[in-house]
Amino acid sequence: PPSHGVLIRDAPVCWQIEYDGRRVGYAVSQAVPGALGTTEVHSRVKLDGINLGKLAPQWMSTLVRGLGEISLDTRTTLVLDTLGSLSSFDTRVWLNDLPLVMKAVGKVDGPELLLKLQTGEVAHESRHPVPTSALLASELIPEPKLLHVYVGRRWQQEVYSPFRPPTSPMEILQAEVVDETWIEQHGQGVRVRKIEYRSLPPAGGAAGK
């Protein structure tokens, strides 16, 4: 996969989120110094006025059916060790004005990720292999930046998603740079590249870097 670049501490990275042609929220992440030379990445994704029934995966559809438009607030603290590798993370999800809906805590233990999920009174623990020297991505943490991408380049990455079944929270995505265009930002033209992500089955073939 292309290099993510160097995390710039204390500089927040913000994204505007649009769905079906309208603005529905934002995502922000910020890296700050942690204890004993570690780095903490704090992120928040806030969505308002979205129909969760249309966006939710099939296994979750029965839980959110009938809710209509909702507000979703997710906050994650991710800890990187002194070498920049994942050490642990803590994700909390709120729905509308309800108390905490879901909590996910992960900790790297050797070659495995020990994951604890709790929804209401129901808790589940599982272990998953962690790629060597790879930073675990998440749907709830916006990418700070991607380097060395060009039209036609493809790669794979593992993503932790709290919206997948609790027994299978890891997903393999294939990314492809499909287009290069210009957008207007703060009154100036900026050249950008469009990247599409597609879910792959666990046994999917390897994609070229």
- The pTM of the full predicted model, rounded to 2 decimals, is 0.71
So what's the pLDDT on residue 208? 45
Q: Which one-letter amino acid corresponds to residue 82?
A: T
The tens digit of pLDDT for each residue in 65-85 reads 666 778 889 898 988 888 777
pLDDT greater at residue 9 or residue 179: 179
pLDDT interval class at 62 (50, 70, 90): low
Dihedral sign for Cα atoms in the order 45, 50, 54, 59: positive
**Cα–Cα nearest to 78, from 109, 115, 38:** 38
DSSP 9: B
Q: Rounded to the nearest 5 degrees, what angle is found at the Cα of 172, between the Cα atoms of 105 and 127? A: 35
Q: What is the largest CA-CA distance in the chain?
A: 51
**Side by side, which strands form the sheet with 102-109?**
13-19, 22-33, 39-51, 69-80, 86-95, 102-109, 112-119, 122-129
Q: Which two tokens stand for residue 127?
A: 């272990």
CB 17 within 8 A of CB 25: yes
Helix, strand or coil for residue 18?
strand
pLDDT interval class at 204 (50, 70, 90): very low
So what's the pLDDT on residue 182? 93
**Cα–Cα nearest to 152, from 123, 178, 115:** 178
Dihedral sign for Cα atoms in the order 33, 112, 156, 206: positive
